[in-house]
Amino acid sequence: MNEQSRNGVIIFDTTLRDGEQAPGCSMTLREKLRIASALRDLRVDIIEAGFTAASPGDFESVEAIAGQIEGPVICGLARCHPGDIEQTWQAVKGAARSRIHVFVATSPIHREYKLNIDRDTLLKRAVESVHMARELCTDVEFSAEDASRTEPEFLLEVITAVLEAGATTINLPDTVGYSVPAEYAELIRHIRDHVPGIDKAILSVHCHDDLGMAVANSLAAVSAGARQIECTINGIGERAGNCALEEVVMALKTRTGFFGVDTAIDTRKLHSTSRLVSSVTGMQVPRNKAIVGDNAFAHEAGIHQHGMLKHASTYEIMRPEDVGISRSNLVLGKHSGRHAFRERVGELGFELDEIELNRAFAQFKRLADRKKEMFDADIESIIVNADSTSDGPWRIQELHSTAGTGAICGAAICLQHEDGKTINESAVGDGPVEACFLALEAATGISMDLKHFKVHSVTIGEDSQGDVVVTVEYNGRSYRGHGVSLDIVEASALAYLEVINRVCRHAAVEVNRAAENIATN
Ligand code: KIV
Ligand code: ZN
């Protein structure tokens, strides 16, 4: 843990673990690595990279993030089971700074209905687990799941014992989002005042948003002495989600006079990170969402606009540029050069290397040729979607679709496989999108069950790009795909093909694993 964070509030990001647990938010290894790089650039202190026991894929992604992402502490979650703890250590040990995060539910409801154990057994298990984790790793976090509904005297007993066993961070989750700020702050104070030696550890909070109070509860806990906040980008997570990183960080920054603490976050990267997570998970950010919603800095009412023209402080408590929203009036279009494009990309909070910049610029030029005005959201969309469909065996070479009132809707498609072969297929359907999906299935031989289809426009204007997210089921697994184009039928085809490519990659991984198992047995 760096000293700066110790004096301020440690930002523990769990987008890749609790965030990924949200329905429909599962991510591929490549997507997780991309988000982990963005979190590093955002300067979060800790990345919780996953729950290694959940699946071999989760283990691999935690291990890859630990091996490739330098800067933040890389943390893996483990139940209080020796097998989980050992496995988590194997996954995180490659990081320059690693953490094992062990948890067990302490509340009577969880003890009785979920774990079916008594207090003594639970206490013993918690202590043994922290001991074991400390033998492997110097940085160990202990979470008392459902702490806010645990009997205060038992919580005190557990925390005192795990602290003695060597836990370096103590986390008190409001797992079901039941607490309210004054009560949650009281819980933190109670632990601070009654656990001997608690000042040797960092007190942490992890709040869910079931009653819409995750951010308020986390801030109240900070006022009561908590120094680590567990949060996710856009507040994604189990059920109603977690404390939103961008909101809690901007509250601490904007009201630093009140809270007296800050974070190490580079807030100018909040907007770009939010857009990346939204694009990867398919979870759209509501327009009125604090900090990162499209309307967060928009002033509609005449009286507000009048005030803003006189002085921005009349209606703005934060500067949009501080969260990575550009206020630049420079209009980019097809005549804009690489230099201007690079500047705007930087202003929008993205860090691209030369190769990524060249690729994004080429795409920008192609799009600018077809579109009258290029908005910041178009540029963001180019960057965050840069490698979505490029990752798979199939690519669309040509697509034609027909539609019309009373007409038969059809689609003809030419796909190229990475081994060089091309396939032409056509199909008819109730609409051009369905026809397209059927043609893609016929060409690839993969037939899927479409569960959700969402389309929204990236910007305003009749020449806006369409952004399509599809969720499908295949062989009992849920997959998500995403496509953007000026033509919404093409955007739909790209989203559907992304899923087909994922299914193919997944099948290839399974075949390799089976072969490795045969070889090692
Ligand atoms: O909500 C919760 O209690 C958790 C723990 C595993 C930290 O996510
Ligand atoms: Zn949680």
Q: Among 92-96, 237-241, 330-334, 377-381, where is mean pLDDT lowest?
A: 330-334
pLDDT digit string, tens, across residues 360-377: 999 999 998 888 778 888
Ligand 1 center to residue 9 CA distance, Å?
Answer: 19
Ligand 1 mean position, distance from CA 228 (Å): 14
Q: What pLDDT, in 10s, does the model give residues 455-514? A: 988 887 788 889 999 999 998 888 888 899 999 999 999 999 999 998 888 777 666 666
Amino acid 3: pLDDT: 38
Q: What pTM does this model have? A: 0.88
β-strand partners of 244: 232
Architecture of domain 10-281: Alpha-Beta Barrel (3.20)
Ligand nearest, relative to CA of residue 12? 1
> Which is more confident, 249 or 456?
249
pLDDT at 301 over 90: no
Q: Give the list of residues 6+ apart from residue 209 with CB closer than 8 angstroms, or none.
A: 177, 215, 235, 237, 239, 240, 241, 242, 243
Contact 145, 176 (CB under 8 A): no
pLDDT for position 460: 77
Secondary structure, 3-state, 195-220: CCCHHHCEEEEEEECCCCCHHHHHHH
Domain at 394-509: CATH architecture:
2-Layer Sandwich (3.30)
pLDDT at 515 over 80: no
Res. 413: pLDDT tops 90: yes
Q: How far apart are CA 216 and CA 224, in angstroms?
A: 12
Look at ligand 1, atom 8, and give the residue with the nearest C-alpha.
18
Q: Domain-by-domain residue ranges, the chain? A: 10-281, 297-322, 326-384, 394-509
**% residues pLDDT > 70 (the chain):** 92
Q: What is the DSSP string of 330-376?
A: PPB-TT--HHHHHHHHHHTT----HHHHHHHHHHHHHHHHH-S-B-H
For residues 50 and 69, give the distance between their C-alpha atoms in angstroms, rounded to a whole number.
14
- Residue 400: count other Cβ atoms within 10 Å of its Cβ: 14
In whole angstroms, give the CA distance from residue 475 to residue 224: 49
pLDDT per residue as tens digits for the range 57-101: 999 999 999 999 999 999 999 999 999 999 999 999 999 999 999
Tell me the CA–centroid distance for residue 249 and ligand 1, in Å. 20
pLDDT (mean) for 427-432: 94
Closest ligand 1 atom, residue 14 Cα: 8
Residue 45: pLDDT above 70?
Answer: yes
Check pLDDT > 70 for residue 29: yes
Q: What would the pLDDT profile of 145-156 be if each residue is shown by its tens digit? A: 999 999 999 999
Q: How many CA atoms lie within 13 A of 77 on its CB side?
A: 23
- For CA atoms 148, 153, 156, 158, give the dihedral sign: negative
- Please provide the size of the chain in residues: 521
Whole-number pLDDT of residue 263: 98
| Ligand 1 pocket, CB under 6 A | 18, 103, 143, 145, 173, 175, 206, 208
Min mean pLDDT across 112-121, 208-217, 276-285 is at 276-285
Mutate to test the pocket of ligand 1, among 15, 16, 88, 103 (most ligand atoms within 8 A of CB): 103
The per-residue pLDDT for 304 is: 67
- Ligand 1 atom with the smallest distance to the CA of 77 is 6
